[in-house]
Structure 1
């Protein structure tokens, strides 16, 4: 399989994504855990089995000694691109975005990892919070309802492809889990708020209205999700995430 620089779509510290004749190829750096590659492959297949129409996994392979995933290609623009180009129609795009998220969350995926367990493990391992802060977060997490809805874990407009016929499809299921829809909404809210508070507020307003969920309930998840994201140790986002942990009063 030939990977050319001109066909590079995305480049991250741990992976590069190319568009090829075989499909979209995600190639991971040598020291990226093999288990993480196979976990993403397995998550993708489990999401396929819910009946959700997503780009299908075609192959797990090695290219020049590095692990890679080959995934079906869906031609189109990301919803993020469309939102930036056509800001005047932001509310329409956001409404469609929320509808798509609710469609995802209407599926159950009881063989995927449990979101509450993933969040708890991340918070327990945090070094930037003291034991009291970790205890308060874990106590709040334990009190939250345990659901089995399909959660994407990184649901944002850059992971939504809009095809030429207007159909939208969701990509990148590396962080998929089963859990509480409002926890996944809290993650999406934080992803918006990191760059654009106006879009974040519009998103949360529409999500709560369409799902008939109290805003306060989603907000209860914000310090938990923000703390779990600290585990990634991305320095650029640390102060932003700490603000959301500190701003919420623990019950």
Structure 2
């Protein structure tokens, strides 16, 4: 492998991340399941977001290493929101000498608020050259194997009935794609960026908080604690976003079924979580028929 590549520092379902140039930068290299077009799309979208002044890592160049497409980025010294939430839950359920429960809650909610602020900033941009959100969602639903043809048609009909906007959206604002650095949030992994409705991004975030199946390694006490705070996280997140951008929870709730249906085509969530989403989609479709 290229001599400029250093220690492996992270990985995901689509890529591996290594130190680059004496650790001053990182390189994200595609796995076999991610083609060159997808990586170029991520590079172009991230470059666009950087040039718009948004809180994203600076992308330096698109490269190929031993036949693998990759992107060289600024190295961000911070933690993902996922890591911070898990650490918070583990700390909350262990000894907390000298730290109050209220202090923990405020720390957690600070992360939630700055996430809402970051998304509001991203959504303030428009008229950019990225794919159509609505068409992307419809295409993803078409590949889903967990719903009947009739159910997929009903979800797409619901999607088509929703108001249409033309704002920049990230497309995958999960807790692993949100970095916290020195009290500020940054967004990574721009492969799925689109132009459309902020409500879709907000629904994606809410779905993850509400329905995500927690890692098996977490102690039962930590799982129980996270389950008790899921809805309070959503309340704080939407309260902050509504103050900034005026979009209400009720407007976002209408997008839950289409975005949950889209998530059924993703590789990054397991069967248990997909079954939870299928049940929620069917419940919502049934409610619409009443």
Q: Taking structure 2 as the reference length, what is the TM-score of the superposition? A: 0.77
Distance 1:243 1:19, change over 3 A: farther
* Segment of structure 1 superposing worse, 23-32 or 111-120: 23-32
Distance (Å, rounded) in 2 between the aligned partners of 1:131 and 1:82: 40
Q: 1:56 aligns with which of 58, 63, 69?
A: 58
Give structure 1 stretches of 5+ with no counterpart: none
User: How many residues of Structure 1 are paired with residues of Structure 2 in the alignment?
Assistant: 248
Indicate the larger mover: 126-135 or 74-83: 74-83
In structure 2, the residue matched to 1:228 is 262
Structure 1 or 2, whichever has the larger Rg, is 2
Aligned pairs for 1:1-251 (under 5 A) are 1-2=2-3, 3-4=5-6, 7-21=7-21, 23-86=25-88, 88=104, 89-164=107-182, 166-193=183-210, 194=212, 195=214, 196-210=226-240, 211=242, 212-232=246-266, 234-236=269-271, 237-248=273-284, 249-250=287-288
1: CA distance, partners of 2:154 / 2:264: 16
Contact kept in structure 2, 1:136 and 1:250, CA below 8 Å: no
Cα distance in 1 for partners of 2:110, 2:74 equals 28
Query: Cα offset for 1:139?
Result: 0.7
- 1:151 Cα deviation from its structure 2 partner: 1.1
Secondary structure of 2:247's counterpart equals: coil
What's the RMSD between the two structures over aligned residues?
A: 2.2
Preserved contact between residue 144 and residue 264 of structure 2 (Cα < 8 Å): yes
Which SS does the other structure have where 1:250 is aligned? helix
| TM norm structure 1 | 0.88
CA 1:167–1:128: 2 relative to 1, 3 Å: closer
Alignment CA distance shift 1:29-1:149 (3 Å)? same
1:183-227 deviation digits (Å, cap 9, x = unpaired): 110001112220455554234323432323332221111110011
Secondary structure of 1:104's counterpart equals helix
The Cα shift of 1:146 comes to: 1.2
Q: Which runs of 5 or more structure 2 residues have no equivalent in the other structure?
A: 90-103, 215-225
* 2:57/2:73 contact within 8 Å kept: yes
Shift of 1:43: 1.3
2:147–2:278 contact (8 Å) kept in structure 1: no
